[in-house]
Chains A and B, each alone.
Chain A
Amino acid sequence: MDDYAIGVLTNIALFSFIALSAYLLLIAGEMSFGQQAFFGVGAYAGGILTTLYAWPLPLAALAAMALGAVAQFLVALPTLRLRGLHFAMATLAAAEMARILFELMHWRREIDGELAGPDGTQGFRGIRWIFEHGIEPLHYLGIVGVLLALVLALFLMIERSKLGATLRGVGLDPELAASVGIDVQRIKLGVAAAAGALAALGGVLYAHHNTYIEPRNFDIMLGVHSLAYALIGGLGTAFGPLLGVLLDIGALESTRVFHGYRMIVFGGLVALVLVYRPRGLLDERTVQWLRQRFS
């Protein structure tokens, strides 16, 4: 595989994490415009820990996930009772605050004779853990791929369990779910924490793949893209968000067929698909049909 193909595949896997976090919230009935914040929290926290404090990446990733979970839990706590656009705007406000805080963050220390660390709008350079530890791009793709596969397996397991049915129940009709004894608030807080951890994991891996991050990477564009990936791919299965990422980054960006027109093509495609399939390509009905055919 050439470097370009490895780069594209790694990007597909990285953005799948944040798309899956948007998907998790969507099936539980919440639309977030703010997943980019927790992706950013993971990227900054992980980068700071490995670069400034010489933590090993796996440990830094765990810490970043915990931080992402706590961050989204704290955002969810006061906004739990908001619905629809109110909730979306509250998450967007939180995410924009996070982005501005990244811009205001100057946390630099001298490492090997050079200043390293987040430098406000100048960005955060030199997140070199994977190079310093001799991890080749293909090897890194393998690590990211295995992690994504683990997350997917977890999703598929949950969707087949009672918890999965509970999640969808809360998403479709919270009042009805509450009336059959489901603690809707607890479920929603749990979903928020899990989505935050998932986005943060994507962020940590993204920062170490790119070696450079800046606050602009985590603006509303990333958040709404992840929402679009989840919705276009379909809300019927956790493979949906992956399909969404694959269509955009895999099919359109990498083939360069529509070079310069990619967003015009992808944008039109998304709008048209949603006309005929408002819950995405792999929606619940399609997934049901596929299951009956192949099992």
Chain B
Amino acid sequence: MIADLVQNTLDGLSAGATYALLALGFTLIFGVLRRANLSFGPAIMFGCYAATWTHVNFGAGLLLLALITVSGAVLAGAYVERLCFAPHRGGSAIAAMVASFALWMQFEELATLIMPRHLYAFPLLYEGDPLALGPFTLRIDALAMLGAALAACLALWWTLYRTRFGLAVRALIEQPAAAALAGINVPWVFVRVFALASAIGGVAGYLVVASHGQITPMLGMWATLKGLLAMMLGGLGSLPGAVIGGLALGLIEAHTQWYLGPQMRDLIAYLLLFVLLAARVPWMTTRSAS
């Protein structure tokens, strides 16, 4: 009993760490642009497919694949920013969101054109037996995932709270009008925030496919839905909230899946989101989309 509880909590934390990264990417974009980027997940998928393609055709080491994933995600993110968000700055939020959905369709079709099989193998982070600690087993790759996610969070924290660029980003999130008046080059910050968010998403995407050892075109939708869910649970537009939302989602999913099965896991996560939104809990009502 207790052993299950501890084991599920460990598994939930390592899944939650990737959700936290996805939610951070979403929150950065939503925080400064006040727009939801539905193509966030598909751009990550594009990076992962670029890495898989390299792996299948040439073979490459883990580090190189991670690098390709992240640069692919940033490249795809830049394309999304130019076509969907730069033209609608200060304009229609719905138009920007629908445009980002349109590019999602493009990424998905592109992925299936280049790699037509439904499933491709991806090199595992770690192949070997899990670490046994008394009654518990620790999957090494889950541990690595947790560590890498923590490192990415720390790097992001340092960027946001210890650099001038980070100051500009936080100013834009808190007081957009005052930040612009203070001489912050707003379009340039937008571009860099998009690149930063895509890079974080790329790290999350790489960790997910490398720990599962496989990739399918469903990755894009999966990453967008999990990221949105975690961001909303933690309160829209708050960076610490995104981390808490991601970890909470991971823990809830791990426990409900163990006791109730995968369908109830998803049902309960969405039910929780719906109830919290309807109840207008204080931490979720701070900012609105349009």
Q: Which of A92, A266, A278 has the most CB atoms of chain B within a 10 A radius of its CB?
A: A278
Which of A64-72, A110-118, A255-263 is the contact stretch?
Answer: A255-263
Measured between beta carbons, the chain B residues less than 8 angstroms from A103 are: 263
- A93–B273 contact, CB under 8 A? yes
- B95–A263 contact, CB under 8 A? no
Does A138 have its Cβ within 8 Å of any Cβ on chain B? no
Q: Closest B residue to A85 by CB, please name it.
A: B289
Nearest chain B CB to A241 CB, angstrom units: 13
- B92–A278 contact, CB under 8 A? yes
Does A228 have its Cβ within 8 Å of any Cβ on chain B? yes
- Select one of B92, B103, B278 contacting A90, CB under 8 A: B278
- Select one of B87, B105, B221, B267 contacting A267, CB under 8 A: B105
- A274–B266 contact, CB under 8 A? no
In the complex, which residues 184-222 of chain B have their Cβ closer than 8 Å to any Cβ of chain A? 221
Does B143 have its Cβ within 8 Å of any Cβ on chain A? no
Complex CA gap A100/B266 in Å reads 8
In the complex, which residues 66-106 of chain A have their Cβ closer than 8 Å to any Cβ of chain B? 78-79, 81-86, 88-90, 92-94, 96-97, 100-101, 103-104
Scan B97-128; emit 1 where CB is below 8 A from any A CB, else 0: 11101111110111001000000000000000
- B92–A79 contact, CB under 8 A? no
Measured between beta carbons, the chain A residues less than 8 angstroms from B99 are: 270-271, 274-275
- A266–B270 contact, CB under 8 A? no
Chain B contact residue count (CB 8 A cutoff): 46
Complex CA gap A278/B84 in Å reads 11
In the complex, which residues 110-155 of chain B have their Cβ closer than 8 Å to any Cβ of chain A? 110, 113
- A270–B277 contact, CB under 8 A? no
Scan A269-286; emit 1 where CB is below 8 A from any B CB, else 0: 111101100110000000
- B106–A96 contact, CB under 8 A? no
Does B64 have its Cβ within 8 Å of any Cβ on chain A? no
Q: Closest A residue to B267 by CB, please name it.
A: A100
- B263–A104 contact, CB under 8 A? yes
- B277–A268 contact, CB under 8 A? no
Q: Closest B residue to A228 by CB, please name it.
A: B98
- A81–B280 contact, CB under 8 A? yes
Does A18 have its Cβ within 8 Å of any Cβ on chain B? no
Measured between beta carbons, the chain B residues less than 8 angstroms from A101 are: 267
Measured between beta carbons, the chain A residues less than 8 angstroms from B30 are: 85
Measured between beta carbons, the chain B residues less than 8 angstroms from A272 are: 83
Nearest chain B CB to A28 CB, angstrom units: 13
- A83–B288 contact, CB under 8 A? yes
Measured between beta carbons, the chain B residues less than 8 angstroms from A97 are: 267, 270-271, 274
- B225–A231 contact, CB under 8 A? no
Measured between beta carbons, the chain A residues less than 8 angstroms from B38 are: 224
Q: Which of B101, B108, B280 has the most CB atoms of chain A within a 10 A radius of its CB?
A: B101
- A89–B95 contact, CB under 8 A? no
Measured between beta carbons, the chain B residues less than 8 angstroms from A278 are: 88, 91-92, 95
- A93–B104 contact, CB under 8 A? no
Does A31 have its Cβ within 8 Å of any Cβ on chain B? yes
Complex CA gap A279/B232 in Å reads 27
Does A57 have its Cβ within 8 Å of any Cβ on chain B? no
- B290–A231 contact, CB under 8 A? no
In the complex, which residues 225-249 of chain B have their Cβ closer than 8 Å to any Cβ of chain A? 225, 228, 232, 236
- A83–B109 contact, CB under 8 A? no
Does A1 have its Cβ within 8 Å of any Cβ on chain B? no
Measured between beta carbons, the chain A residues less than 8 angstroms from B96 are: 274
Does B6 have its Cβ within 8 Å of any Cβ on chain A? no
Complex CA gap A279/B290 in Å reads 15
Does B93 have its Cβ within 8 Å of any Cβ on chain A? yes
Does A227 have its Cβ within 8 Å of any Cβ on chain B? yes
Measured between beta carbons, the chain A residues less than 8 angstroms from B178 are: none
Does A170 have its Cβ within 8 Å of any Cβ on chain B? no
Q: Closest B residue to A83 by CB, please name it.
A: B288
Q: Assuming A263-B109, A267-B105, A278-B88, is B263 touching A84 (CB within 8 A)?
A: no
Q: Assuming A89-B228, A224-B38, A270-B98, is B277 touching A82 (CB within 8 A)?
A: yes
Measured between beta carbons, the chain A residues less than 8 angstroms from B104 are: 267
Scan B256-290; emit 1 where CB is below 8 A from any A CB, else 0: 00000001001100110110011010001100111
Q: Assuming A85-B36, A89-B232, A89-B277, is B263 touching A266 (CB within 8 A)?
A: no
* Contacts A93-B274, A97-B270, A269-B102 supplied; 11 other A-B pairs, CB < 8 Å: A82-B278, A83-B289, A85-B36, A85-B288, A89-B273, A101-B267, A228-B102, A260-B113, A261-B113, A264-B109, A271-B83
Chain B residues within CB distance 8 Å of chain A: 30, 36, 38, 83-84, 87-88, 91-99, 101-106, 108-110, 113, 221, 225, 228, 232, 236, 263, 266-267, 270-271, 273-274, 277-278, 280, 284-285, 288-290
Chain A residues within CB distance 8 Å of chain B: 26, 31, 78-79, 81-86, 88-90, 92-94, 96-97, 100-101, 103-104, 220-221, 224, 227-228, 231-232, 260-264, 266-272, 274-275, 278-279
Q: Which 9 A-B residue pairs are closest in the complex by CB-CB distance?
A: A84-B289, A85-B289, A270-B102, A78-B278, A278-B95, A267-B106, A263-B109, A267-B105, A84-B290
